[in-house]
Amino acid sequence: MTSEAQSRVSLTKVYWLEQTGADVPPDDNWLGASEAACLNALRIPKRRADWRLGRWTAKRAVAICLNAPGGPRSLAGIEIQPAATGAPEVFLDNQPAAVTISLSHSNGTALCAVAPPGTDLGCDLEAIEPRSDGFVADYFTGDEQALIARASAADRFRLLALLWSAKESALKALREGLRLDTRSVTVNLIEDVPPTAPHEETTLTFKKCRSIWRSLEVHCTNGQVFRGWWAQTGNLLQTVVAAPAPARPILLQV
């Protein structure tokens, strides 16, 4: 969908927030009782760190969207629990909250997207890194493989990360995750991927990132189409997809 066409329809507001490990408090008094029990069951330090980072990012994002206080007592009343599908759901004082969220983390950074209730929402963070030809053959559709084959050597790994991230976002929006074949969704970039620019990859800030979200869409074999957006900050790619179609993601101010 073009920008002109999008302007003629009512678009869903989607908000986003990123946090790093340095943002997470050392204590756990901002966790609810069931969350603390879940954390205590995790024994591997990296899993504990990733879990805490994801919960902190989600709670901070939800608190801002709901105009709730950001102190530990208030955040402890916002609990993030997995649904039967594994998708995160938000509870406020033990009652379902009027928001939909999606979570992702990569390389010590977590991303949370927040949308109105009833939205099919998915977000993903993906690091740009080398991937093999076998990975491309196993997980990408024919159209996507053709797009990858046309990419320059300098842009290949960034394009791979972008397509993979958009797939993950769509599979989360379907509330299936990687239980579904990744070839059941095909990513279509509305705008060409801009050539890699060294200064862009190293100096992007969140403020700049808000102005360079670019359009994409994902077509599912069940006929559903997700509209979405992607951006790049340093070596990380962010993607967000939703149905109904989302407006350009809005950065939450902490």
* Spans of all domains in the chain: 3-251
- Provide the pLDDT for residue 196: 61
3-251 is classed CATH 3.30.300.30? no
What is the layout of strands, in order, in the sheet containing 100-106?
100-106, 109-115, 15-20, 250-251
Q: How far apart are CA 239 and CA 251, in angstroms?
A: 13
191 φ, ψ to 5°? Answer: -115, 145
Distance CA 133, CA 130 (A): 10
- Predicted TM-score (pTM) of the model is 0.88
- Contact yes or no for 130/119 (Cβ under 8 A): no
DSSP-derived 3-state class of residue 25: coil
Q: In the block, which residue shows the tokens 């190293």?
A: 202
Question: 228-251 b/e with 16+ CB inside 10 Å = b?
Answer: bbbbbbbebbbbbbbbebbbbbee
Q: Longest Cα pair distance anywhere in the chain, in angstroms?
A: 53
Contact predicate 158/115, CB 8 Å: no
Secondary structure class of 58 (helix, strand, coil)? helix
Which residue has 């024919």 as its token pair? 142
Under 8 Å CB-to-CB from 46, ≥6 apart: which residues?
none
Measured at the CA of 212, the angle between CA 190 and CA 102, to 5 degrees, comes to 80
DSSP string, 86-130: S-EEEEETTEE-S-EEEEEEETTEEEEEEE-TT-EEEEEEEE---
pLDDT per residue over 202-241, tens digit each?
A: 333 333 344 489 999 999 999 999 999 999 999 999 999 9
Run of H or E including 250: strand 250-251
Report pLDDT for 201: 38
Q: Which residues of the chain have pLDDT under 70?
A: 1-9, 192, 195-211
**Three-class SS state of 66:** coil
Report the alpha-carbon distance of residue 229 to residue 194 in Å, rounded. Answer: 14
Tokens of 140: 């990408």
- Contact between residue 180 and residue 165 where contact means Cβ atoms under 8 Å apart: no
Q: Is residue 56 a contact partner of residue 23, using CB atoms and an 8 Å limit?
A: yes
**Pair of tokens at residue 73:** 């007592």
Question: pLDDT value at position 177?
Answer: 84
Which amino acid does the sequence have at 116? P
